[in-house]
């Protein structure tokens, strides 16, 4: 794929390969790993604007950044009330971040029923008010959204234009409707319509598991870059493949992720999270089932590291 820098409201990325905000996965150690593999931009897990305003302890954990991260700092917020969005965007805990993304695509029922995430696709004026509220931070503001709630209710072009008009500095378009969750074909045509309708950068998201997928997504949509999601959970080294970043020792990079996790989070969280993530990295391995079973049984850092460096664990 063609690599290029992206200017997002004065914040310039080193390239156009981004990693999506992924609930339960994109903690700081994982973002450090992604950056070391060449990612141009990574985001925190999505953070509740209201939770941040009320001082939620869990929210503070989501915003944690380890010392090893030196890239652009981007946070994703979600919510449906402009006042809470404005207060969150200007909160002292957001001060270290260079960029704020607003989630308007999450399909999870709990989020949707609260009028947040993809529910905002049905209320363009409210969506615009959230962007304007976040702009009170004076930071670059981006929006990630889907092409509609269903195939019968596609809103891509109008929504893209509305976000630009409200002040968004970049949009990311997930080429699926809300009802498809994370399955089904990606609608390249709809992403292309968004790109043709606005002057701000457009990032295409959906279905990238290989270099060929990334090339097709860019070629068929004309988008300025790609955002990786599930593909990078199964294979974080896809980032290096797309950005032409040399990788000398994959296991050593994962070891750093393990060390960063235990150094910055509590023991139980680190163990559970790392078991889950290392199991995903095994997708396609010839002995994946056996190794996943072994991972689930791990209860300590030492056991996880021993398994990582065993001859059976190949990545």
Annotated catalytic residues are 106
Strands 11-13 and 6-8: antiparallel
Cα 149 to Cα 179: distance, rounded to the nearest angstrom:
6
Cα 192 to chain centroid distance, Å, stands at 21
Say how many Å lie between the first and final Cα of the chain, rounded: 23
Q: With contact defined as beta carbons under 8 Å apart, do 100 and 141 qualify?
A: yes
Tokens 């989501």, located at residue: 62
Q: With contact defined as beta carbons under 8 Å apart, do 68 and 32 qualify?
A: yes
Cα 96 to Cα 105: distance, rounded to the nearest angstrom:
25
Q: By C-alpha distance, which of 154, 152, 156 is closest to 164?
A: 156
Cα 183 to Cα 176: distance, rounded to the nearest angstrom:
8
Q: What is the C-alpha R_g of the chain?
A: 19
Q: E-assigned strands of the chain?
A: 6-8, 11-13, 17-19, 41-48, 74-78, 99-104, 140-146, 170-174, 202-205, 225-228
């Amino acid at each position: 794929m063609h690599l290029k820098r992206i200017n997002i409201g004065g914040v310039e990325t080193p390239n156009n390969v981004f990693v999506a905000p992924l609930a339960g996965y994109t903690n700081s150690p994982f973002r450090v790993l992604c950056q070391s593999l060449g990612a141009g931009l990574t985001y925190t897990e999505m953070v509740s604007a209201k939770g941040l305003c009320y001082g939620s302890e869990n929210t503070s954990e989501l915003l944690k950044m380890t010392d090893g991260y030196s890239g652009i700092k981007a946070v994703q917020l979600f919510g449906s009330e402009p006042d809470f969005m404005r207060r969150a965007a200007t909160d002292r805990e957001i001060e270290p971040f260079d960029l704020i993304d607003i989630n308007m695509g999450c399909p999870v029922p709990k989020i949707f029923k609260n009028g947040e995430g993809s529910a905002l696709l049905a209320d363009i004026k409210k969506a615009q008010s959230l962007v304007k509220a976040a702009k009170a931070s004076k930071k670059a503001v981006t929006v990630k959204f889907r092409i509609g709630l269903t195939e019968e209710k596609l809103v891509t072009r109008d929504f893209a234009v509305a976000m630009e008009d409200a002040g968004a500095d970049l949009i990311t378009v997930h080429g699926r409707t809300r009802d498809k969750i994370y399955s089904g074909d990606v609608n390249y045509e709809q992403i292309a319509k968004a790109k043709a309708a606005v002057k701000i950068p457009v990032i295409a998201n959906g279905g990238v598991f290989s270099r060929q997928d990334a090339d097709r997504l860019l070629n068929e949509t004309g988008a300025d870059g790609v955002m990786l999601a599930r593909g990078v959970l199964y294979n974080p080294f896809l980032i290096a493949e797309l950005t032409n970043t040399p990788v000398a020792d994959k296991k050593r990079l994962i070891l750093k992720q393990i060390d960063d996790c235990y150094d910055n989070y509590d023991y139980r969280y680190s163990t559970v999270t790392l078991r889950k993530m290392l199991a995903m990295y095994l997708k396609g391995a010839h002995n994946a089932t056996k190794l996943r079973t072994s991972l689930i049984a791990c209860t300590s850092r030492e056991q996880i590291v021993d398994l990582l460096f065993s001859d059976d664990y190949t990545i």
